[in-house]
Structure 1
């Protein structure tokens, strides 16, 4: 019964990517083994090397995050809130329930994973936030806000601190607006209306 599935290259690659996302998110690059990933996908470990060339190649493709929504699109004054909503409240079940950036932190001791994390974070989110400020140190302000957001994500999904874990977008809104407005020297909204399809995601607070 398994033989026809092994011959379906596209389906096999997809299963391997899904298994890899979960393993890398839960265990990190070093601890996640090719054998375990292949076992989760129900295929022989040799197919990882056939389809991706190496464990590194598998990681790079699996870590290419594709967000359910596009938080960079929309009014600038809503950008910080859209990013925080994406980080905390969207359905990231494909990455073991965590935003890929938070999940990748478990692999940050590995050079390639750290480089990928830096490129993903600085090349997208930080750059977009930097455009919110006209100050000479706009880059520093954007990185400080990004560090704050990632810290919230780590406390919520990795550490599981009680207050942040239980917080809703409405709970976070005034603090988000205060921090972002102070850093970027402009009015920033705390709760932009989420896209309709994101409202009822599994795991989102009601």
Structure 2
């Protein structure tokens, strides 16, 4: 098989895996289902990824690296854009964290969620928080943002499903400022 075909096949497998894991979680997704969705033999998953767990890890590795870049007062707005309003079509319209949450029956997945959420989101918010209980307030804000994302994309509650960034911005800014003890922007110009 030519290198170009290998890369195209690997990309199709990752795309199929993202959708399956996002919709069904780790346990309910079989290697055969993913391979069938990609139109290839299941053996290629083992050839390219080694096992289902490595495929899952690679398929759910899309937490944005540049989330922390930019003005501090816009961090919450960037998180809102990423968690709630980004185009996650590759995951069936949901943030990759949702796929990981659907697979959280596994301790290693729960640990990965904890590490990624705490080191990416909570830690950055904690560094911005002023006053006592910074860690707790950062976790509360993180939980609120993740909850909004889940209610909007998974549950599709009516008001959140139709809301746009401008609708949420004043509420996000007010809650973030209240929990972090400092003014935060609810929107970014980006």
**TM-score scaled by length of structure 2:** 0.93
**1:143-158 alignment, distance < 5 Å:** 143-158=139-154
Say yes or no: does 1:35 pair with 2:40. no
How far is the alpha carbon of 1:66 from its aligned partner? 4.9
Cα shift readout 1:124-179 (whole Å, capped 9, x = no counterpart): 11111111113232111111100000100111111110011111111111111111
Contact 2:25 2:102 in 1 (8 A): yes
Contact 2:49 2:55 in 1 (8 A): yes
Contact 2:125 2:138 in 1 (8 A): yes
Say yes or no: does 1:50 pair with 2:18. no
SS of 1:8's equivalent in the other structure is: helix
Give the Cα–Cα distance (whole angstroms) in 2 for the partners of residues 91 and 77 of structure 1. Answer: 23
How far is the alpha carbon of 1:10 from its aligned partner? 1.8
Match of 2:21 in 1: 24
Stretches of structure 1 lacking an aligned partner (at least 5 in a row): 195-206
**1:78-97 alignment, distance < 5 Å:** 78-97=74-93
**1:79-158 alignment, distance < 5 Å:** 79-158=75-154
Higher mean C-alpha deviation, range 38-47 or range 69-78: 69-78
Contact 2:130 2:182 in 1 (8 A): no
Match of 1:200 in 2: none
Structure (1 or 2) with the greater helix fraction: 2
2:5 aligned to which of 8, 32, 56: 8
Say yes or no: does 1:188 pair with 2:184. yes
Give the Cα–Cα distance (whole angstroms) in 2 for the partners of residues 74 and 6 of structure 1. Answer: 38
How far is the alpha carbon of 1:70 from its aligned partner? 2.9
Match of 1:197 in 2: none
Alignment length (residue pairs): 190
Cα root mean square deviation, aligned: 1.8
How far is the alpha carbon of 1:7 from its aligned partner? 8.2
Match of 2:56 in 1: 59
Contact 1:30 1:110 in 2 (8 A): no
Contact 2:60 2:99 in 1 (8 A): no
Give the Cα–Cα distance (whole angstroms) in 1 for the partners of residues 4 and 97 of structure 2. Answer: 33
**TM-score scaled by length of structure 1:** 0.86
